[in-house]
Protein backbone atom coordinates (compact mmCIF):
# COMPACT_ATOMS: atom_id res chain seq x y z
CA UNK A 1 0.00 0.00 0.00
CA UNK A 2 1.27 3.49 -0.87
CA UNK A 3 1.85 5.91 2.00
CA UNK A 4 -0.22 9.12 2.06
CA UNK A 5 2.90 11.22 1.63
CA UNK A 6 3.49 9.67 -1.79
CA UNK A 7 0.42 11.55 -3.08
CA UNK A 8 1.00 15.15 -1.98
CA UNK A 9 -1.76 16.73 -4.07
CA UNK A 10 -4.37 13.98 -3.83
CA UNK A 11 -6.42 16.25 -1.54
CA UNK A 12 -5.45 19.40 -3.44
CA UNK A 13 -3.50 22.23 -1.85
CA UNK A 14 -4.04 25.43 0.08
CA UNK A 15 -3.10 28.58 -1.88
CA UNK A 16 -3.43 32.03 -0.30
CA UNK A 17 -6.20 31.02 2.11
CA UNK A 18 -8.17 29.05 -0.47
CA UNK A 19 -8.25 25.39 -1.37
CA UNK A 20 -7.50 24.28 -4.96
CA UNK A 21 -8.40 20.76 -6.11
CA UNK A 22 -7.41 19.55 -9.59
CA UNK A 23 -9.97 17.30 -11.31
CA UNK A 24 -9.63 15.51 -14.64
CA UNK A 25 -12.83 15.09 -16.63
CA UNK A 26 -13.62 11.48 -17.54
CA UNK A 27 -16.25 9.96 -19.82
CA UNK A 28 -18.39 9.13 -16.76
CA UNK A 29 -18.66 12.86 -15.97
CA UNK A 30 -20.22 13.74 -19.33
CA UNK A 31 -23.66 13.45 -20.86
CA UNK A 32 -24.61 12.25 -24.35
CA UNK A 33 -23.30 15.49 -25.88
CA UNK A 34 -19.79 15.01 -24.47
CA UNK A 35 -20.13 17.95 -22.08
CA UNK A 36 -19.89 17.64 -18.31
CA UNK A 37 -23.32 16.86 -16.91
CA UNK A 38 -24.48 19.67 -14.61
CA UNK A 39 -24.81 17.45 -11.52
CA UNK A 40 -21.18 16.33 -11.85
CA UNK A 41 -20.10 19.83 -10.80
CA UNK A 42 -21.86 19.24 -7.45
CA UNK A 43 -19.65 16.17 -6.89
CA UNK A 44 -16.52 18.12 -7.80
CA UNK A 45 -17.45 20.92 -5.39
CA UNK A 46 -18.23 18.43 -2.61
CA UNK A 47 -14.76 16.95 -3.04
CA UNK A 48 -13.30 20.46 -2.83
CA UNK A 49 -15.12 21.22 0.43
CA UNK A 50 -14.24 17.84 1.96
CA UNK A 51 -10.58 18.02 0.99
CA UNK A 52 -10.32 21.61 2.20
CA UNK A 53 -11.36 20.70 5.74
CA UNK A 54 -9.18 17.59 5.56
CA UNK A 55 -6.13 19.71 4.74
CA UNK A 56 -7.08 22.07 7.58
CA UNK A 57 -6.83 19.13 10.00
CA UNK A 58 -10.45 17.95 10.32
CA UNK A 59 -11.48 14.53 9.04
CA UNK A 60 -15.07 13.38 8.60
CA UNK A 61 -14.16 10.37 10.74
CA UNK A 62 -13.06 12.64 13.61
CA UNK A 63 -16.30 14.62 13.33
CA UNK A 64 -18.46 11.48 13.32
CA UNK A 65 -16.58 9.83 16.19
CA UNK A 66 -17.23 12.68 18.61
CA UNK A 67 -13.71 14.14 18.71
CA UNK A 68 -15.27 17.61 19.00
CA UNK A 69 -17.83 16.65 21.65
CA UNK A 70 -20.86 14.81 20.28
CA UNK A 71 -20.72 13.07 16.87
CA UNK A 72 -21.13 15.72 14.16
CA UNK A 73 -21.25 16.14 10.39
CA UNK A 74 -21.39 18.95 7.85
CA UNK A 75 -24.53 19.23 5.71
CA UNK A 76 -25.27 21.54 2.81
CA UNK A 77 -28.08 23.94 3.71
CA UNK A 78 -28.13 26.18 0.65
CA UNK A 79 -26.44 26.51 -2.75
CA UNK A 80 -26.59 29.28 -5.30
CA UNK A 81 -25.01 28.10 -8.56
CA UNK A 82 -24.24 29.83 -11.84
CA UNK A 83 -23.24 27.77 -14.88
CA UNK A 84 -21.24 29.73 -17.46
CA UNK A 85 -19.37 27.32 -19.73
CA UNK A 86 -19.08 23.55 -20.00
CA UNK A 87 -16.04 21.39 -19.42
CA UNK A 88 -15.30 18.51 -21.78
CA UNK A 89 -13.71 15.09 -21.57
CA UNK A 90 -9.98 15.16 -20.72
CA UNK A 91 -10.12 18.77 -19.48
CA UNK A 92 -8.12 19.38 -16.32
CA UNK A 93 -10.18 21.73 -14.20
CA UNK A 94 -9.64 23.18 -10.73
CA UNK A 95 -12.15 23.55 -7.93
CA UNK A 96 -11.38 26.64 -5.83
CA UNK A 97 -12.97 26.78 -2.37
CA UNK A 98 -12.77 29.56 0.20
CA UNK A 99 -14.60 30.06 3.49
CA UNK A 100 -15.92 33.63 3.62
CA UNK A 101 -18.05 33.70 6.78
CA UNK A 102 -18.75 31.57 9.84
CA UNK A 103 -21.36 32.14 12.54
CA UNK A 104 -23.15 29.81 14.94
CA UNK A 105 -23.62 26.53 13.12
CA UNK A 106 -23.02 27.96 9.61
CA UNK A 107 -20.06 28.34 7.29
CA UNK A 108 -20.51 30.19 3.99
CA UNK A 109 -18.11 29.22 1.22
CA UNK A 110 -17.46 30.51 -2.26
CA UNK A 111 -16.51 27.95 -4.89
CA UNK A 112 -15.43 28.27 -8.49
CA UNK A 113 -14.80 25.51 -11.00
CA UNK A 114 -12.21 26.84 -13.43
CA UNK A 115 -10.56 25.83 -16.67
CA UNK A 116 -7.39 27.87 -16.64
CA UNK A 117 -8.47 31.41 -15.74
CA UNK A 118 -12.04 30.89 -16.98
CA UNK A 119 -14.86 30.33 -14.47
CA UNK A 120 -17.06 27.48 -15.68
CA UNK A 121 -19.29 27.31 -12.61
CA UNK A 122 -19.47 29.43 -9.46
CA UNK A 123 -21.37 28.72 -6.27
CA UNK A 124 -22.09 30.22 -2.89
CA UNK A 125 -22.58 27.35 -0.46
CA UNK A 126 -23.86 27.41 3.11
CA UNK A 127 -23.02 24.37 5.20
CA UNK A 128 -24.19 23.73 8.74
CA UNK A 129 -22.79 21.51 11.43
CA UNK A 130 -25.35 18.96 12.61
CA UNK A 131 -25.49 16.08 15.06
CA UNK A 132 -26.26 12.59 13.79
CA UNK A 133 -29.99 13.20 14.37
CA UNK A 134 -29.82 16.07 11.87
CA UNK A 135 -30.15 18.93 14.38
CA UNK A 136 -28.02 22.04 13.87
CA UNK A 137 -25.30 22.57 16.45
CA UNK A 138 -23.17 25.61 17.26
CA UNK A 139 -19.66 24.94 16.03
CA UNK A 140 -17.51 23.74 18.95
CA UNK A 141 -14.68 26.13 19.84
CA UNK A 142 -12.06 23.41 19.25
CA UNK A 143 -13.41 22.76 15.74
CA UNK A 144 -13.59 26.50 15.02
CA UNK A 145 -9.96 26.84 16.13
CA UNK A 146 -8.77 23.89 14.05
CA UNK A 147 -10.47 25.36 10.98
CA UNK A 148 -8.83 28.72 11.71
CA UNK A 149 -12.14 30.57 12.03
CA UNK A 150 -12.31 33.52 14.41
CA UNK A 151 -14.50 33.47 17.50
CA UNK A 152 -17.90 35.09 17.07
Instruction: Please give the DSSP secondary-structure letter assigned to residue 70.
Output: S
For the question of residue 31 being annotated catalytic, the response is yes
CA angle 121, 123, 32 (to 5 degrees): 40
Each residue of 124-138: b (16+ CB within 10 Å) or e? Answer: ebebbbbeeeeeebe
Contact 112, 119 (CB under 8 A): yes
Catalytic residue (one of 6, 9, 29, 31):
31
Please compute, for residue 107, the number of CA atoms within 13 A of its CA located in the half-sphere on the CB side: 26
- Residues annotated as catalytic are 31
Amino acid sequence: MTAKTDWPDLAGRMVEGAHVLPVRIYFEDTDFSGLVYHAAYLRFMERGRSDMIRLMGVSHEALASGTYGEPLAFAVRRMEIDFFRPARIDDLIEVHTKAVHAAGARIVLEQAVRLGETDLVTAKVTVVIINLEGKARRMPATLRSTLGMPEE
